Amino acid sequence: MLKHLAGERVAEVTHREYGYMLRLNLERLMLSLGNSLERLRMAGLTGGGETVVDMFAGVGQFSIPVAVLATPRKIFSVEINPEAYRYLVLNTRLNRVEDIVEPILGDCREVVEERLQGVADRVIMGYLMGTMEALPQALKTLRRDVGGVIHFHELVRRSEEEGFVEELLGRVESEGYEARLLRWRKVKSYSRTRNHIVVDFLAVRGG
- At residue 9 the predicted structure's pLDDT band, cuts being 50, 70 and 90, is low
- Chain segment 108-166, per-residue pLDDT in tens: 999 999 999 999 999 999 999 889 999 999 999 999 999 999 999 999 999 999 999 99
Cα separation, 66 vs 156, in Å, equals 26
**CA nearest neighbour of 117 among 152, 151, 155, 143:** 143
109 in a domain, yes or no? yes
pTM of the model: 0.93
* Domain at 187, CATH number: 3.40.50.150
- Domains identified in the chain, total number: 1
111 in a domain, yes or no? yes
Contact 148, 122 (CB under 8 A): yes
117 in a domain, yes or no? yes
The contacts of residue 23 (CB under 8 Å, 6+ apart) are 12, 13, 14, 15, 59, 87, 90, 91, 94
Residues forming beta bridges with residue 196, ordered by sequence position: 155, 188
Cα separation, 58 vs 127, in Å, equals 9
pLDDT at site 156: 96
pLDDT at site 148: 98
Reduced to 3 states (helix: H, G, I; strand: E, B; else coil), residue 77 is strand
173 in a domain, yes or no? yes
27 in a domain, yes or no? no
- Chain segment 34-83, per-residue pLDDT in tens: 789 999 999 999 999 999 999 999 999 999 999 999 999 999 999 999 99
Mean pLDDT computed over 96-119: 97
b/e 17-49 (16+ beta carbons within 10 angstroms → b): eeebebbbeeeebebbeebbebbbbbbeebeee
Give the structural domain span for 195: 32-205
Alpha-carbon dihedral sign for residues 194, 13, 11, 55: negative
Among 3-12, 25-34, 95-104, 105-114, which stretch is predicted with the lowest mean pLDDT? 3-12
Reduced to 3 states (helix: H, G, I; strand: E, B; else coil), residue 138 is helix
66 in a domain, yes or no? yes
170 in a domain, yes or no? yes
Cα separation, 163 vs 153, in Å, equals 15
Residues forming beta bridges with residue 150, ordered by sequence position: 123, 201
**CA nearest neighbour of 21 among 108, 79, 111, 87:** 87
54 in a domain, yes or no? yes
**CA nearest neighbour of 20 among 98, 92, 104, 101:** 92
